C-alpha cells in the first residue's frame, strides 16, 4: 500500500486521491472508496455522506430528482454573531462549502418504484442544524406527503437546534412534531434513517416519531451532545454508548441497516406499509380533524 502511494506520488498523482478511514486508519483509494459508498472495506465504518451522495444512494433515478423550496432561506432574527463570524456570513460560507442553500434537501423521487417525498439533511451545512428554514422545509415536506399521500423518507444528520436563531430554532421542534402527528392520522408511511450524527433537537422531535426508524451502522444517536454533557455533568460520555447499535439494544430504533441495503429495505417497508387497500392513505375531512380523530 505504502509503495503504491509512493509510486502514485512520483507519478504526480495528488495525495488527496487517498483517504484514511476515520475509525481504523486503513488507507483507501478515493475513487474506489466513493464507489463503495464511503464504507471502509476493512472495518465497515460508514463515513459521512453529503446530501447529493445520499440521493444517489437512495433513489432509483437520482437525475430526475427535483429539489423543492430552495427559495426558503434564513432570516437572521437575532442579529447573531459568533467568534467565527456573523450568522449571515456563516450561512454564506456553508452555501459555498456545500453547494446547498440550507441544511436540508427536500423533494420527490422514486425508491424501488415507489414515489416518495424525500428529505436529506446536510451535515456539512452548519452541522445540519435545524433553524427556521430546516423546520419550514421539513414541515412543508410533511404537508406534501400528507396532501399527496406520498410515503415520506427523511435521512437525519444534525447537531440539533441551530443556536444562532435562539428560541425560533427550538420552536421548530414543535412545528415538525405537529406535522408528523398529523401525517400519522393519514396513514402515510414515515421512515427515518438516522445517520451520523443525529442529536438533540432533531432526535427529540420529528425523527423519533417515524413509523419505522433505521439506524446507519456506527452512527452517533443521542439526546445530549458530548460538549453539553461535559459542561453539565463535568464528565465525558463514552462514544460507544451512543451508537445505532446501542440505541437498537435499548429499544429506541427498529433496525441497523448497512448503506448498500438501505434502498432495498426502505422499498420493502413502503411496500408492506402502503400497499394494502384497507390501510391506504386516508384524509380526514379537513386538517384540523386530522389531529382530533
Q: Which of residues 73-132 bind other proteins (CB under 8 A)?
A: 73-75, 77-78, 80-83, 101, 131-132
Q: Are 217 and 244 in contact (CB under 8 A)?
A: yes
Q: Which of residues 230-259 bind other proteins (CB under 8 A)?
A: 230-233, 237-238, 241-242, 247, 250-252
For residue 69, which of 15, 126, 141 has the smallest C-alpha distance? Answer: 141
**Bridge partner list, 106:** 68, 119
- Candidates 136, 196, 211, 216; binder of other proteins (CB under 8 A) is 136
Tell me the torsion sign for CA atoms 119, 125, 131, 136. Answer: negative
Q: Which residues make Cβ contacts (< 8 Å) with residue 6, sequence separation at least 6? A: none
5 vs 78, which CB is nearer to other proteins? 78
Q: Which of residues 193-222 bind other proteins (CB under 8 A)?
A: 200-201, 203-209, 222
Is residue 191 part of the contact set for other proteins (CB under 8 A)? no
Q: Which of residues 145-164 bind other proteins (CB under 8 A)?
A: 161-163
Q: Which residues make Cβ contacts (< 8 Å) with residue 106, sequence separation at least 6? A: 67, 68, 69, 117, 118, 119, 120, 137, 138, 140, 141
- Candidates 169, 191, 193, 214; binder of other proteins (CB under 8 A) is 169
- Candidates 49, 50, 65, 103; binder of other proteins (CB under 8 A) is 65
Is residue 144 part of the contact set for other proteins (CB under 8 A)? no
Report the alpha-carbon distance of residue 152 to residue 262 in Å, rounded.
15
Q: Which residues make Cβ contacts (< 8 Å) with residue 18, sequence separation at least 6? A: 5, 27, 28, 29, 30
Is residue 57 part of the contact set for other proteins (CB under 8 A)? no
21 vs 177, which CB is nearer to other proteins? 177
40 vs 201, which CB is nearer to other proteins? 201
Amino acid at each position: 500500500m505504502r509503495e503504491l502511494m509512493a509510486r502514485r506520488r512520483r507519478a504526480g498523482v495528488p495525495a488527496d486521491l487517498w483517504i484514511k478511514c476515520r475509525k481504523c486508519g486503513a488507507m483507501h483509494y478515493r475513487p474506489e472508496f466513493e464507489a463503495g459508498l464511503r464504507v471502509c472495506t476493512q472495518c465497515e465504518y460508514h463515513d459521512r455522506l453529503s446530501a447529493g451522495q445520499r440521493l444517489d444512494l437512495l433513489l432509483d433515478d437520482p437525475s430526475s430528482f427535483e429539489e423543492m423550496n430552495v427559495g426558503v432561506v434564513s432570516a437572521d432574527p437575532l442579529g447573531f454573531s459568533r467568534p467565527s463570524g456573523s450568522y449571515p456570513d456563516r450561512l454564506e460560507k456553508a452555501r459555498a462549502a456545500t453547494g446547498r442553500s440550507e441544511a436540508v434537501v427536500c423533494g420527490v423521487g422514486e425508491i424501488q418504484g415507489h414515489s416518495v417525498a424525500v428529505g436529506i439533511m446536510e451535515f456539512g451545512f452548519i452541522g445540519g442544524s435545524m433553524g427556521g428554514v430546516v423546520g419550514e422545509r421539513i414541515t412543508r415536506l410533511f404537508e406534501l406527503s400528507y396532501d399527496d399521500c406520498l410515503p415520506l423518507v427523511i435521512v437525519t444528520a444534525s447537531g440539533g437546534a441551530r443556536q444562532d436563531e435562539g428560541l425560533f430554532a427550538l420552536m421548530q421542534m414543535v412545528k415538525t412534531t405537529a406535522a408528523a402527528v398529523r401525517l400519522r392520522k393519514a396513514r402515510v408511511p414515515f421512515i427515518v434513517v438516522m445517520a451520523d450524527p443525529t442529536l438533540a433537537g432533531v432526535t427529540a422531535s420529528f425523527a423519533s416519531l417515524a413509523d419505522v426508524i433505521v439506524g446507519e451502522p456506527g452512527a452517533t444517536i443521542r439526546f445530549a451532545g458530548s460538549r453539553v454533557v461535559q459542561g453539565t455533568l463535568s464528565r465525558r460520555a463514552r462514544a460507544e454508548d451512543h451508537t445505532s447499535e446501542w440505541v437498537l439494544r435499548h429499544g429506541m430504533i427498529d433496525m441497523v441497516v448497512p448503506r448498500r441495503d438501505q434502498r432495498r429495505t426502505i422499498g420493502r417497508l413502503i411496500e408492506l406499509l402502503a400497499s394494502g387497500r384497507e390501510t391506504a392513505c386516508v384524509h380526514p375531512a379537513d386538517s384540523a380533524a386530522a389531529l382530533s380523530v
